Structure 1
């Protein structure tokens, strides 16, 4: 029994260490997903909301390692064989669950936070630097995009200057990352 538990602890520990080393240099991405499972990624992305990956390679490896360590610990305290097996199974399950929860938390941090100007379409903002009328020049507006307040250069097709503090709505985006805005009260259906 002790030899089996020691083998589980060593094999699981060595495999976990190897996964950590290969994961830190990026070598794992050829055969596995970001969470260590053998399921291919969809379009190169992983959704952190897809649930716990209890049966990923990492989680199963952790289960084997903790099974061996837990069993050896119980054995060294003089526990009987049934109690040793129960302890090993419980610690193996806790290790598997712990790794799955940790991987889910880490994958949640990998979202792309790059600001996409296209998400500004239809957003309401405020003029920060007056916007000259009739494409007469560039001003600046501030608005909330993707959960943060940003400042963009802006132009308007309207005839009059949009003064500082005026509420505007984004109606277009120019190729040079300049927003086209209109005074909020001049947009149909918006008060």
Structure 2
């Protein structure tokens, strides 16, 4: 076995093992970065975030394509310069394919942040009594974005709204507080 073939085999085998390890870790939910506490930083924080074309996954995909294409090309007697060029092209196709798949999956993500504007018009029930005329906050239990949540609420009604009473959300007082009216 020639040195070139050994090198391409080593690249192909090692990168494939890393790819398999990534897939196994992903199946068990261990494929994300760990955080260790908080960090204070100076300077701008308005980075675009998200995916980058050069990531561990895309680079590993490049080397899988590069290594195994090199093995096949050398075993088919392609000259070394042609093998390297072909392997680099196939590796680049692998890289862009994995990047495209990851970008598509990344778009499916949901932040999970509740937008209480989506509660306007919905009906909930009083969890803690709501004082009349915005004298103080109470709490209601309401389904927002598929999640049952307890939210602080005020009312403009002239009388206190008691526990278990049904209310309709009419507006937001602030991003975390609802304005409700009694039903009936």
Judge same fold: TM > 0.5, yes or no. Answer: yes
Could you tell me how far 1:72 is from its partner in structure 2? Answer: 2.2
1:14 to 10, 17, 20: 17
Whether the 8 Å CA contact 2:170–2:179 is kept in 1: the answer is no
Counterpart of 2:121?
125
Separation of aligned partners in 2, 1:22 and 1:105? 20
Gaps of 5+ in 1: 35-39, 44-48, 129-133, 161-165, 183-191
* Farther off after superposition, 12-21 or 53-62: 53-62
Matches within 5 A, 1:88-99: 88-99=87-98
How large is the RMSD of aligned CA atoms in angstroms?
Answer: 4.9
Closer/same/farther in 2, CA of residues 102 and 120 from structure 1, 3 Å limit: same
Matched, 1:68 2:71: no
Q: Secondary structure at the match of 2:92?
A: helix
- TM-score of the superposed pair, with normalisation by structure 1: 0.54
Whether the 8 Å CA contact 2:172–2:179 is kept in 1: the answer is yes
Whether the 8 Å CA contact 1:122–1:170 is kept in 2: the answer is no
Counterpart of 2:107?
108
State how many pairs are aligned.
159
Separation of aligned partners in 1, 2:22 and 2:68? 18
Deviations along 1:4-28, one digit per CA (max 9) or x if unpaired, are 1111111111111111112222344
Counterpart of 1:186?
none
1:169 to 163, 168, 171: 171
Could you tell me how far 1:54 is from its partner in structure 2? Answer: 2.9
Closer/same/farther in 2, CA of residues 96 and 11 from structure 1, 3 Å limit: same
Q: Secondary structure at the match of 2:121?
A: strand
Q: Secondary structure at the match of 1:125?
A: coil
Counterpart of 1:131?
none
Whether the 8 Å CA contact 2:58–2:96 is kept in 1: the answer is yes
Closer/same/farther in 2, CA of residues 157 and 97 from structure 1, 3 Å limit: same
Gaps of 5+ in 2: 39-47, 125-131, 134-139, 160-167
* Farther off after superposition, 76-85 or 15-24: 76-85
- TM-score of the superposed pair, with normalisation by structure 2: 0.56
Whether the 8 Å CA contact 1:171–1:181 is kept in 2: the answer is no
Closer/same/farther in 2, CA of residues 181 and 53 from structure 1, 3 Å limit: same
